[in-house]
Amino acid sequence: MKEEVVRQIRLEELPDNLSMLAEYCGLEAVQKMLLNLNGGMFYIPRISHLDKFVERYINENWEKPNSCLAKDLNVSLVHVRRMRKKITEERRAEKKLLKCV
């Protein structure tokens, strides 16, 4: 499909899912997706499923209470506690490895 053709697509001509995407990201972004990614399907997960990000955020904000972290990330207190426990265990394992070397 040619770019000049795709650039003629208007917001009101898009189906609901692409219309919503255009409202959040802009019509130009949707047009680029139609040009380069047509036929693809996307799943947008909750933040709680972005484990690497959640782990980094908790690490960088370690001093914050669990309740604040849970609110910031829009996840449960249980999830924050679980991630803190995982991080703490990883830190301990890392220290043990460093002592052995």
Cα–Cα–Cα angle for 60, 56, 91, rounded to 5 degrees: 85
| Sequence-separated (6 or more) residues with CB below 8 Å from residue 40 | 33
Could you list the pLDDT tens digit for every one of the 101 residues in the chain?
Answer: 688 999 999 999 999 999 999 999 999 999 999 999 988 888 989 988 999 999 999 999 999 999 999 999 999 999 999 999 999 999 898 888 777 76
pLDDT of residue 81: 96
pLDDT of residue 85: 95
pLDDT of residue 73: 95
Q: What are the boundaries of each domain within the chain?
A: 3-36, 47-100
